[in-house]
Amino acid sequence: MPLDQLTDEDIDTEGKEMSFLDHLEELRWHIIRAAAAILVFTVTAFIFIDDIFEYVLLGPAKTDFWTYRQMCKLADYTGYADLCVKKLTFKLQALGLSDQFTMSLTSSFFVGLSFAFPYAFWEVWRFIKPGLRPSEKRAARGAVFFVSLLFSMGLLFGYFIVSPLAINFLVNYTLSSRIENNIDITSYIGVIVTLALGCGLIFQMPIVAFVLSKVGVLTPAFMREYRRHSWIVILVVAGIITPSPDLYSQILVALPLALLYEISIVVSGRVQRARLKDNEALMQS
């Protein structure tokens, strides 16, 4: 437990090694508090689910969505008229008797999870941090802030950039004029949630690079050597999560991912320099 959260009883027992069952008990309470935070935000989201559905989840299904407006401005600026989204030819429907209620619960949970993520990760970090060495604690300073920031950025990127591009392509793709796009609400919400949360996890790339570099699995030299290969993988990923065939959309998605990779190289380099410095200090002592 962090020192700033110790009680008088904790101070008396500080320095004593905790048993395995004590660790499990400590972990259990961290998980309970994290789950309670998710539950609170989920219930709050369910109370306002009508507005969340209308203005948030169904936003990318409307041509006046912020992203589509910016795409039309970009189309006017570049002269590439295909960028402007003028129609979305589909109709949402609920096929099952309980689909709308189920979607309300599911959507509330994912909204609650998104908002509670910083606190939930903070609870996990409180459990992990006491087991780190002083040098590791210094290196991981600000971990909760950066993980939460990157997750939020990825979430917004997935919602405002990737989801509208994917929906625009998928609903306007027609195999035959005789086939109407009547989309199941579970399918639509599944695409929004998967892309938004997926991007939130993809944006943790610098954090993953930090952890792997800390344990010696990843080095900046390795990442620089395979930079070109990584760019190809990024372009492939951008093509997968952005099914729109135009080059502008794929570049729009690939650029942030490429930037995250470059940031990961910098993070890995800093970790390596810190590790070499610590080794030199140990040899001199």
Task: Say if residue 44 is in the same domain as residue 152.
Answer: yes
Task: Say if residue 118 is in the same domain as residue 245.
Answer: no
**What are the Cα distances from residue 178, in Å, to 27, 42, 168, 174, 175?**
57, 41, 19, 9, 9
Task: Say if residue 36 is in the same domain as residue 167.
Answer: yes
Residues 6+ apart with CB under 8 A from 282: none
Q: Please calculate the CA angle 196-56-251 and round it to the nearest 5 degrees.
A: 40
Looking at 129-184, list the stretches that DSSP marks H as alpha helix, in order from N- to C-terminal side: 134-139, 143-157, 163-172
Q: Please state the domain count of the chain.
A: 2
Domain boundary pick from 203, 224, 242: 203
Task: Say if residue 215 is in the same domain as residue 196.
Answer: no
Domain boundary pick from 203, 221, 238: 203
The answer to whether position 196 is within a domain reads: yes
* Domain assignment of residue 279, given as a range: 204-285
Run of H or E residues at 276: helix 247-284
Token pair belonging to 6: 């110790």
Task: Say if residue 121 is in the same domain as residue 262.
Answer: no
**What are the Cα distances from residue 16, in Å, to 2, 13, 242, 272?**
15, 6, 53, 33
Task: Say if residue 66 is in the same domain as residue 89.
Answer: yes
Count of other CB atoms within 10 angstroms of residue 282: 8
Task: Say if residue 184 is in the same domain as residue 220.
Answer: no
The answer to whether position 266 is within a domain reads: yes
Domain boundary pick from 181, 203, 225: 203
Task: Say if residue 194 is in the same domain as residue 144.
Answer: yes
- Asked if pLDDT for residue 254 goes beyond 70, the answer is yes
What is d(CA 173, CA 245) in angstroms, rounded to the nearest whole number? 11
Which has more pLDDT, 118 or 82? 118
Task: Say if residue 255 is in the same domain as residue 232.
Answer: yes
Task: Say if residue 259 is in the same domain as residue 136.
Answer: no
SS3 of residue 140 by DSSP: coil
Task: Say if residue 112 is in the same domain as residue 78.
Answer: yes
| pLDDT tens digits, one per residue of 107-159 | 999 999 999 999 999 999 998 888 877 877 877 888 899 999 999 999 999 99
The answer to whether position 45 is within a domain reads: yes
pTM score: 0.83
- Asked if pLDDT for residue 283 goes beyond 90, the answer is no
Using pLDDT thresholds of 50, 70 and 90, give the confidence band for residue 5: very low
The answer to whether position 7 is within a domain reads: no
Task: Say if residue 127 is in the same domain as residue 66.
Answer: yes
The answer to whether position 65 is within a domain reads: yes
